[in-house]
Amino acid sequence: MKQNPLPELWKQDRTAYTCWLSIPGSWSAEVMAHAGFDAVVVDLQHGLAGNDAMLAMLQAIGTTAAAPIVRVPWNEPSAVMRALDAGAYGIICPMVNTRAQCEALVAACRFPPEGSRSFGPTRSLVSIGPDYLSRSRSFALAFAMIETAEALANLDAIAGVPGLDGLFIGPWDLSLALGIQRAGNLADPAMVEACDRILAAARKHGLVAGIYADSAAQGRPLAARGFRLVNVATDTMLLQRGAEAELAQARA
């Protein structure tokens, strides 16, 4: 039977490095997953994939040891349940601003009596195993994105929701919400303070702290600070950077 490798990594206090997928396609997803990332995130919020592409991408990621995660488009129960039924090992949910919204996210990830998830893990019963129901807790990780001033104000209440697995920082939206002049600037003092607050809340409540970075150079210091789910690449950005670098070398 398959195991979700992420909880074991975190038990060892190790960081899981991820790649974000915005290109809708099984082939690019398979290539990125084979690169050796601990987890690969299918982005349904700002990426270009829909539900049909998501299924093919999860199947492609499943040819590797990487844990497939889905960022759902919004905190909506059917989107969460559909991704988990299709074989996602975890959910990253955007714009979780209140305790009630976080409770709704967790409920959608948990079967009764712990939650309200409807039974129908069509692909998960095949891709993970026929005992999926009894082991679903470790294959339905719930991460709430903290990316607004309201979420920061409600941080302790959100982090205290039973069944939540982690807090995930969306630095672009959070920096905009904090009025930071250069969006996504993790070095801005206000962002440093906000990240430290989120890290502290995660530690207090026994949660995994995650964050989006766009490179290894940006991600490694974040891991050293205590973030244990760190994105360090995106498929689109790698494609752009690689193409531009090769063309520049050719023209030089």
- Choose among 125, 128, 84, 87: nearest CA to 106: 84
- Choose among 116, 64, 109: nearest CA to 84: 109
The residues facing 143 across adjacent strands are 92, 166
Over the stretch 66-81, which tens digit does the pLDDT of each residue have? 999 999 999 999 999 9
What length is written for the chain? 252
**pLDDT recorded at residue 179:** 96
Q: CA-to-CA distance for 250 and 252, rounded, in angstroms?
A: 5
- Looking at residue 76, the DSSP 8-state letter turns out to be -
Identity of residue 212: Y
Q: CA-to-CA distance for 245 and 222, rounded, in angstroms?
A: 26
Give 5-251's CATH code, choosing from 3.20.20.60, 3.40.50.720, 3.40.50.300, 3.20.20.70.
3.20.20.60
**pLDDT recorded at residue 52:** 94
**pLDDT recorded at residue 53:** 98
Over the stretch 175-201, which tens digit does the pLDDT of each residue have? 999 999 999 999 999 999 999 999 999
Is 0.95 surpassed by the pTM of this model? yes
**pLDDT recorded at residue 132:** 97
The domain locations on the chain are: 5-251
The pairing of strands 67-71 and 90-93 is parallel
* Residue in 46, 203, 204, 241 annotated catalytic: 46
**pLDDT recorded at residue 111:** 98
Active site residue 46: yes
What is the DSSP annotation of 155-182? HHHHHTSTT--EEEE-HHHHHHHTT-SS
Q: CA-to-CA distance for 70 and 53, rounded, in angstroms?
A: 12
Per-residue model confidence as pLDDT tens for the chain (252 residues): 799 999 999 999 999 999 999 999 999 999 999 999 999 999 999 999 999 999 999 999 999 999 999 999 999 999 999 999 999 999 999 999 999 999 999 999 999 999 999 999 999 999 999 999 999 999 999 999 999 999 999 999 999 999 999 999 999 999 999 999 999 999 999 999 999 999 999 999 999 999 999 999 999 999 999 999 999 999 999 999 999 999 999 999
Q: 175, 152 in Cβ contact below 8 A? A: no
Identity of residue 58: L
204-216: b or e for each residue (b if 16 or more CB lie within 10 Å)? ebebbbbbbbbee
**pLDDT recorded at residue 81:** 98
